[in-house]
Amino acid sequence: MSDTAVYGKVALIGLGLIASSMFWATRRAGLADHVAGYARSEETRETARRIGLCHEVCDSAEEVVADADLVVLAVPVGAMGAVAQAIGPHLKPGATVTDVGSVKRRVIDDVGPHLPEGVHFVPGHPLAGTEHSGPESGFATLFENRWCLLVPEAGTDPMAVARLRRYWEGMGALVEEMEPDHHDLVLAVTSHTPHLIAYTMVGVADDLRRVTDSEVIKYSAAGFRDFTRIAASDPTMWRDVFLTNKDATLEILGRFTEELFALQRAIRTGNGDALFDYFTRTRAIRRGII
Ligand code: NAD
């Protein structure tokens, strides 16, 4: 292996935003000697070959994992189990399998049973993304100074975890470990429910289009523009996130609607103090973040 390489061969399955960014980041820092990629659609594989994404693009999942030291599952969460089933028998003993899925408990339950003894499974989730998807959307700096959460189960080989940590750090990420159910609850608050709210707000604006004509678009201010950007995210990915992180999302949505009703009541009853106090509290949270 070259001096900078953390792995000899890395296999990327699913060549979308995250996998393509991983390839460019890996290549830039020389973190692997060889990166092979596979995506289900012929069109994606052709695009990948055309733009030089991966050192090699394979035509099957079995082929891409052959001799790989690290296998990265970068497909929508709902597809992880089927991919794991397909590659399970072809994994090299001692290899590490990881994923980048936005939900962790479900991925662990779906993928784990398909991996043979002697293969290390270290689930992960980079907290980095954009509203773009597909093989042409990736870029080398996507993970720079962004968190990547690793959720190894107790008993996972610490060497395999440490090596994956080094790989993510090499791509510029800040790595922490977290327990899967806690991960899913935290992400329901910080990412999943906000996406649902953005989808809803843009849907409401679209419903009102007949009344407002195209003014919603023409005069869209920063707040609404941010909602439209978030609501442009990949529908397959986000469908799978809500279907697979159902309990945590419903818990947070329940709390959200309670708060929304309280604000609705304060507006209806003209309770300015309640509104002011609420906004003062949330402003302090923002100031604590930046
Ligand atoms: P994407 O839509 O850009 O790419 C997904 C890729 O997977 C596509 O190339 C598609 O062809 C391929 N694919 C789908 N089903 C497949 C299958 N069965 N076998 C092989 N390939 C298949 O998606 P993305 O944004 O790169 O997301 C990938 C994963 O990363 C998802 O699990 C998502 O939850 C997670 N993630 C996304 C973001 C984000 O903001 N986009 C952030 C962090 C994690």
Mean pLDDT of 237-243: 97
Separation of CA 21 and ligand 1 centre (Å): 12
Q: In the predicted model, is pLDDT for residue 218 greater than 80?
A: no
Separation of CA 281 and ligand 1 centre (Å): 36
Give residue 222's pLDDT. 76
* 176 beta partners: 149
Percent of the chain exceeding pLDDT 90 equals 86
Separation of CA 215 and ligand 1 centre (Å): 34
Q: Which residues line ligand 1 (CB under 6 A)?
A: 13-19, 39-41, 44, 74-77, 79, 82-83, 100-102, 125-126, 129, 133-134, 234, 237
The C-alpha atoms of residue 29 and residue 54 are separated, in whole angstroms, by 14
Give residue 212's pLDDT. 63
Separation of CA 275 and ligand 1 centre (Å): 40
Query: Ligand 1 pocket: which of 17, 57, 131 to mutate (most atoms <8 Å of CB)?
Result: 17
From atom 1 of ligand 1, which residue's Cα is the shortest distance away? 16
Which atom, in ligand 1's list, is nearest to the CA of 233?
Answer: 41
Distances (CA, A) of 201 to 52, 160, 190, 198, 239: 39, 43, 17, 5, 17
Separation of CA 260 and ligand 1 centre (Å): 32
How open is the CA angle 70-75-81, to the nearest 5 degrees? 80
Separation of CA 78 and ligand 1 centre (Å): 10
Query: Ligand 1 pocket: which of 18, 130, 229 to mutate (most atoms <8 Å of CB)?
Result: 18
Mean pLDDT of 83-90: 98
Q: Where are the alpha helices (DSSP H) in 60-146?
A: 61-65, 80-87, 105-111
Q: In the predicted model, is pLDDT for residue 188 greater than 70?
A: yes
Separation of CA 208 and ligand 1 centre (Å): 32
Mean pLDDT of 39-56: 98
Q: In the predicted model, is pLDDT for residue 13 greater than 90?
A: yes
pLDDT band at 191 (very low <50, low <70, confident <90, very high): very high
Give residue 1's pLDDT. 86
Average pLDDT, the chain: 95
Radius of gyration of the chain (CA): 21
Q: Are 123 and 99 in contact (CB under 8 A)?
A: yes
Q: In the predicted model, is pLDDT for residue 39 greater than 90?
A: yes
pLDDT band at 206 (very low <50, low <70, confident <90, very high): confident
Separation of CA 146 and ligand 1 centre (Å): 18
Token digits for 144?
């720079």
Give residue 281's pLDDT. 94
Q: In the predicted model, is pLDDT for residue 219 greater than 80?
A: no
Which atom, in ligand 1's list, is nearest to the CA of 126?
Answer: 43
> Which domains are delineated in the chain?
7-178 (3.40.50.720), 182-289 (1.10.3660.10)
Which residues does 251 contact at the CB level (< 8 Å), separation at least 6? 185, 188
Each residue's pLDDT tens digit, 103-159: 999 999 999 999 999 999 999 999 999 999 999 999 999 999 999 999 998 899 999
From atom 7 of ligand 1, which residue's Cα is the shortest distance away? 14
At position 18, the amino acid (one-letter code) is I
Percent of the chain exceeding pLDDT 70 equals 98
Give residue 290's pLDDT. 72
Query: Ligand 1 pocket: which of 73, 102, 108, 139 to mutate (most atoms <8 Å of CB)?
Result: 102
Which atom, in ligand 1's list, is nearest to the CA of 134?
Answer: 3
Give residue 77's pLDDT. 97
